[in-house]
Amino acid sequence: MTSPSGIAISDLNKAFGDTHVLKDISLEIAPGERVVVIGPSGTGKSTLLRSLNFLDRPDSGTIRVGDLSVDAAKASRGDILALRRRTSFVFQNYALFANKTARENITQALITVQGKSTADANARADAILRETGLADKANSYPAALSGGQQQRVGIGRAMALDADLMLFDEPTSALDPEWVGEVLDLMRRVAEKRQTMLIVTHEMQFAREIADRIIFMDGGHIVEQGPPSQLLEAPQDPRTKAFLRRVV
């Protein structure tokens, strides 16, 4: 890839004890590409995302974001911090600070990770809150917000970082059905900006709408990948076919 914001993952491995969760995962993501990962539960999808910014430290492999390349086996604390500055993460359980307001949840990383001044961070957070439809909730704490509002704050926090790669780990799985639509709508608006996105989701219709490419994972491997029209309608691998029969 020639673009400075291209993503390349090479031979990524992760084990928890004797359980080998990621097995030689290699993947390239073009700038502005929206890639959706689907597959059975327990097959390594969330671990893949968490390994990309060292929430779970991979055992081996290389992660490249633009001109930054990190060898997982040798990564220093500085390497990990540099990688986290290039990525942002949206968690399935929101992961907001309960003792901080919506605005403060967004400014936290801007100040501590990116080194912005409080004034600049507040200005950025307020712009994000307007964009996510939460301007009137700037001073509200998570306990006073609905699940959908909390997840929109979580997405806003990721948006504020202007990262090369946004990682979404099943962002609607913890939501009541009534809140799923507003979160997916916000993700569509983020995608329209050609933000590079790697999304784990069980929302098949949303995957069809938003993805440039869908990846099917099973047993710690990338089994099959392709544009939504090909992978969802004419999958080639028997494991993909069996999975889609169950979920579509």
Please state the domain extents for the chain: 7-247
Question: Given this model, what pLDDT does residue 185 score?
Answer: 92
Q: How do 34-38 and 87-90 pair as beta strands?
A: unpaired
Sign, Cα dihedral of 117, 86, 216, 186: positive
d(CA 113, CA 245): 43
pLDDT at 211 over 60: yes
- Residues of the chain above pLDDT 70, percent: 98
pLDDT at 1 over 80: no
Question: Given this model, what pLDDT does residue 174 score?
Answer: 86
Q: What is the pLDDT of residues 81-133, one digit of tens each?
A: 999 999 999 999 999 999 999 999 999 999 988 889 999 999 999 999 999 99
| pLDDT, the chain, mean | 94
Torsions phi, psi for 107 (to 5 deg): -75, -20
- Cβ count near 11 (within 10 Å): 14
Mean pLDDT, residues 238-248 taken together: 94
Q: Considering only the top CATH level, what class is 7-247?
A: alpha beta
Q: Model pTM? A: 0.93
* CB contact at 8 A, 213 and 227: yes
Mean pLDDT, residues 173-196 taken together: 90
Question: Given this model, what pLDDT does residue 5 score?
Answer: 65
d(CA 155, CA 113): 17
Mean pLDDT, residues 63-90 taken together: 94
pLDDT at 146 over 80: yes
